[in-house]
Structure 1
């Protein structure tokens, strides 16, 4: 196969940071090319250079596309050449229909008048092509994230895509939706669509990729031809992090102390449908120094349980009893939950965990402003001192705590969220998908932090969709299905098979 894309010696510099340093990438016509690396390695920056988000002249190096020099001044230029990028944060308008989203900015119109018949006819063709059975008139906010990904791909196909770039396409999807999306990418390959896929899920990379390029610290480390040969995850990880990581989960001494957090008879109804119980009859406990997991399928009620405990952030008619260190805990508001010693690292860090346009300094001190103020007046010098302390302790990769959080990689953003709650000095932390969307190196650092928290005598309740993660990190695991707990397993007896059997036999 001939090269469809060649990127040669790409260098991109931001103030104080060289994000890309002489990166080379060659993508062959008709292949699936995986781009992997740690958070902050430069993968997304490289794709922004390619797609024109960072226009020609703002970087050094050359791009050849279909054998011709490519000097894109913006996304519109690259899209005209059939290069379409689908970002991790989907660019859909929730209150518009599927058809309207597919052709947004590319409307089927004559003399400024929409041709709705053609819009819906063409939408139906595209939806059939991606395997989505919903009607074109369905509002996007009425379909799940997995289907929204398919709408994005249909939108790309409407623009005569030749090179499709997918940035973490399965990060927020269930196992079933992830496999369906990967099957679609393989099907598009048979139709002549070339794909670049950025992913931290190495099992998925190994399944679909013809070629794998590894980037570390802004430079190309290796390019692996995966056709016709077995490429191990250990090989990829070694190139990604620059060291062997045969032990994915750090060892720790497991020691459970006094009873720290107890919940009994917890019930939560849906915020809009008062007759629908989302969480019911849930009871559990966490001892000091324990890491306790909650396993379950998407939609089982895990996040709803966590949010309802943390200041009743979700649901109505919440009832039940919660105790911290044997005493009734007032969790009726977020402020009271924090005062009681509870912290919640949300599943969606960008939407609910951070103020993206604010600085690292502001975000870290946000949950405990009393710690950096006197008589209601913020002490900015003290705030900077605190932020610097956590920047160093957590290994947040940034030249300054005055950097805006939006400019950080996913792993570093997660470290800022954790720093925010550690500054509040909680006894009990609820971690909801704490490693979602971050690479194996950053995951290991988060795992070490969790172990340090438990060693300090704090309690950790860990929600994760990755069962190997729960099995590798937790002392006990509760299994949740359809809003209630259906089993409890000790680490010694837990396995993926036992967890799934509890779910399916409930």
Structure 2
């Protein structure tokens, strides 16, 4: 790591209506350094990197690159200063190819027209350099979220930037792909690239990061050397208190079977999924990327048609061909990709909280606004969602608070069965503990929860039983009393 400072951000201020997002924040980065940026959702991490990326313009403060003061007044200015950002929410164009996305806005030309042959050849070389088995001619909409994440990474690297920002880059990729990502990062830092790394996964920081800077409520808390700092110290810096309880789970004997699925097959990624869910329990679904977990739940919720198999709700055959059918059976699904499959980003928190229960406060053309506000307020309070008001655009909230709104929206439908697909993806430790506590209270009150998660500690600590999926089938099931290990799960997931 060089002694010369690559990036300095001094006294950065940024505000939005009702929110002081950044209040005099400082940050610095050296060449060849991986510098973690930590903080709870809403702490200002994403706002700070959007200022660096030219998406937002700071009201106060200065940015220096290699000692020279620069004006970053737009995305192009950021790129011109050698900065690339991989955002937490993917920004690829779904109906364009992988090659077109990688070279968007800088396509090679031949005779005044886009040279598609050269573009695909260059994209293929980049993909091969980083050992990615993705066709440059494939449409992004046909890729898995994990594959889309890897395309984002290649696109950012292709700019040959001096400063690379990664915002939750491992949130939807497999352990094997994480290893590849870290190898790529190590290769880049050897070339002098400085990397800003945002993640809520503490074990990743210990593996890959040199220093860590913590923000809280839009203010700078401190910068530490990772190897000299404990997890408890970092959590205390982030939340401003000791987090005495992280996973909250009170186990009790579950009730009768409320959902049973037998040999569900969709002709694509689901090839014979079978499981059962009892009243008042949480079952976890583990498996590698592409195992068919999310696809199985989409069949159960009526988003994807299943070709064969049977679904029983409360021991009676259920015909579920649409989400409306599923809701009649009191089933709710919080999807993995909240941006593409759940949120209305240009609408308010109140709108996003109540959209599934319109009949509760709309009668013909009459809207009971007080009732609508009561419903939204109840679930904002229940999930401890941080928002200046119900009128705030949900797109202006942090990712974790958007997730809380999504969970609250489906709780408003009063489901008996709640499916949570990656419920804490991109969520900080404080918000995670709040979501875990809420899940625990819901099952104590009799709700039944299906949780899909790529975080095995979450699966192990929150589930009554764990189903493991492999190649579209349920490969096995463990009970929490069996003292399940991550190795046992991975053995079934990879067989």
Which TM-score bucket, shorter chain as reference?
over 0.9
Change (3 A) 1:123 1:378: same
Tell me by how many angstroms 1:82 deviates. 0.7
Q: Retained in 1: the 8 A contact 2:34–2:208?
A: yes
CA distance in 2, matches of 1:487, 1:120: 42
Instruction: State whether residues 19 and 41 of structure 1, in contact with CA within 8 Å, keep that contact through their aligned partners in structure 2.
Output: yes
Matched, 1:317 2:315: no
Q: How many residues are aligned here? A: 492
Deviation digits for residues 395-438 of structure 1 (CA, Å, limit 9, x no counterpart): 11111111111111111111111111111111111111111111
The question of 1:185 aligning with 2:185 is answered yes
Partner of residue 277, structure 2: 285
Structure 2 residue corresponding to 1:10, chosen from 4, 9, 12 = 12
Contact 2:277–2:448 (8 Å) recurs in 1:
no
> Which residue is equivalent to 2:23?
21
What aligned pairs does 1:29-428 form with structure 2 within 5 A after superposition?
29-55=31-57, 58-109=58-109, 112-114=112-114, 119=119, 122-132=122-132, 134=134, 136-141=136-141, 143-226=143-226, 229-245=227-243, 247-252=245-250, 254-270=251-267, 276=268, 278-280=270-272, 282-286=274-278, 288-310=279-301, 312-324=302-314, 326-375=315-364, 377-428=366-417
| Deviation string, structure 1 residues 346-369 (Cα, Å, up to 9, x no partner) | 111222122222111112112222
SS in 1 for 2:481: coil
Residue 380 of structure 1 and its aligned partner are, at CA, apart by 2.0
- TM-score, length-scaled by structure 1: 0.91
Which residue is equivalent to 1:455?
444
| Contact 1:301-1:483 within 8 A present in 2 as well | yes
Partners of 1:471 and 1:491 within 8 A in 2: yes
Give the drift of 1:483.
Answer: 2.2
Q: Is the 8 A contact 1:53 1:74 kept in 2?
A: yes
* C-alpha contact (below 8 Å) 2:149/2:173 kept by paired residues: no
Tell whether the 8 Å contact from 1:266 to 1:321 is kept in structure 2 after alignment.
no
CA distance in 2, matches of 1:376, 1:487: 51
Question: Whole-Å Cα distance in 1 between the matches of residues 431 and 241 of structure 2?
Answer: 13
TM-score normalized with structure 2 length: 0.92
Partners of 1:378 and 1:140 lie apart in 2 by: 40
Tell which deviates more after alignment, 174-183 or 441-450.
Answer: 174-183
Indicate conservation of the 8 Å contact 1:365/1:372, yes or no. Answer: no
- Over aligned residue pairs, what C-alpha RMSD do you find? 2.3
Deviation at 1:137, TM superposition (A): 4.4
4+ long deviations beyond 6 Å: none
CA contact (8 A) 2:269 2:292 kept: no
Partner of 1:273: none
CA contact (8 A) 1:330 1:340 kept: no
Gaps of 5+ in 1: 271-275
Distance 2:131 2:38 in 1: 27
Q: Does the aligned pair in 1 maintain the 2:476–2:492 contact within 8 Å?
A: yes
